[in-house]
Copies of this chain bind each other. A is one copy, B any other.
Amino acid sequence: MGKKIVTLDGNEAAAYSAYHINEVIAIYPITPSSPMGEFSDEWSAKGEKNIWGTVPQVTEMQSEAGAAGAVHGALQTGALTTTFTASQGLLLMIPNMYKIAGELTSTVFHVSARTLATHALSIFGDHSDVMSVRQTGFALLASNSVQEVADMAIIAQAATLESRVPFLHFFDGFRTSHEVMKIELPSFDDMRAMISDDLVAAHRERALSPDRPIIRGTAQNPDVFFQAREASNKFYLACPDIVQKAMDKYASLTGRQYHLFDYVGAPDAERVIVIMASAAETTQEVVEYLLNKEEKVGVVKVHLYRPFSVKHFIESIPSTVKSIAVMDRTKEPGGIDPLHLDVIAAFSGRNNPPRIIGGRYGLSSKEFTPGMVKAVFDELLKDNPKERFTVGIEDDVTNTSLNYDINFSTEDSQGTRAIFFGLGSDGTVGANKNSIKIIGEDTDFYTQGYFVYDSRKAGTLTVSHLRFGSKPIHSIYLIGGANFVACHQFSFLERYDVLKYAQPGATFLLNSPFGPDEVWDYIPRTTQEHIINKKLRFFVIDAVDVAHKTGMGGRINTIMQTCFFAISNVLPRDEAISAIKNSIEKTYGRRGPAVVQQNFAAVDSALDQLFEVKVPDKVTSTFDIRPPIPEEAPEFVRHVTAKMISGEGDLIPVSDMPVDGTFPTGTTKWEKRNIAIENTNWDLKFVYNVVNVCLFVQVSTIRSKVYSS
Contact = CB atoms under 8 A, between A and B. Distances in A.
Interface string A301-342: 000001110000000000000000000001111111010111
Given A231-B658, A334-B236, A395-B230, A213 B137 contact: no
Interface string A426-450: 0000000000000000000000000
Interface string A72-95: 000000000000000010011011
Contacts of A118: 98-99, 101-103, 137, 229
A637 B236 CA distance: 28
A239 B235 CA distance: 40
Contacts of A135: 128, 131-132, 330, 332, 335, 338
Q: Which of A230, A233, A331, A367 gathers most chain B CB within 10 Å?
A: A230
A321 to B, nearest CB: 15
A474 B218 CA distance: 33
Contacts of A103: 118-119, 660-662
Contacts of A707: 219
A228 B355 contact: no
A454 interface: yes
Contacts of A231: 119, 397, 654-655, 657-659
A453 to B, nearest CB: 10
Interface in A200-253: 206, 213-237, 239
Nearest to A309: B334
A10 interface: no
Contact of A398 (B117, B233, B392): B233
Given A117-B99, A230-B397, A398-B234, A217 B356 contact: no
Contacts of A342: 335-336, 341
A348 to B, nearest CB: 5
B661 A102 contact: yes
A456 B654 CA distance: 55
Contacts of A658: 228, 231
A199 interface: no
A688 interface: no
Interface stretch (A492-500, A576-584, A645-653): A645-653
Nearest to A366: B226
A36 interface: no
A120 B364 contact: no
A613 interface: no
A122 interface: yes
Interface in A269-314: 306-308
A251 to B, nearest CB: 24
B335 A653 contact: no
Interface string A525-567: 0000000000000000000000000000000000000000000
B132 A94 contact: yes
A550 to B, nearest CB: 37
Contacts of A113: none
Contacts of A223: 644, 647-650, 652
Q: Which of A229, A340, A400 gathers most chain B CB within 10 Å?
A: A229
Interface string A391-416: 01111011010000000000000000
A665 B215 contact: yes
Contacts of A395: 227, 230, 233
A398 to B, nearest CB: 4
B362 A226 contact: yes
A107 interface: no
Nearest to A212: B665
Contacts of A137: 118, 332-334
A104 B236 CA distance: 38
Nearest to A103: B660
Contacts of A377: none
B228 A665 contact: no
Contacts of A101: 118, 333
A128 B218 CA distance: 18
Contacts of A507: none
B119 A649 contact: no
Q: Which of A139, A660, A662 gathers most chain B CB within 10 Å?
A: A660
A669 to B, nearest CB: 13
Interface string A109-121: 0000001111111
B398 A230 contact: yes
B134 A332 contact: yes
A102 B222 contact: no
Contacts of A306: 334-335
A45 interface: no
Interface string A627-658: 00000000000000000100111101111111
Nearest to A239: B334
A686 to B, nearest CB: 33
A530 B342 CA distance: 52
Contacts of A104: 119, 659-660
A363 interface: yes
A692 interface: no
A387 interface: yes
Nearest to A367: B222
Contact of A333 (B219, B232, B336, B656): B232
A682 interface: no
B665 A214 contact: yes
A221 B706 CA distance: 13
Q: Which of A139, A224, A656 gathers most chain B CB within 10 Å?
A: A224
A644 B227 CA distance: 13
Nearest to A225: B364
A512 B365 CA distance: 74
Contacts of A91: 94-95
Contacts of A102: 117-120, 660-661
A451 interface: no
6 contacts: A120-B218, A120-B228, A135-B330, A137-B332, A228-B657, A307-B335
Top 3 A-B pairs, shortest CB-CB distance: A223-B649, A102-B118, A307-B334
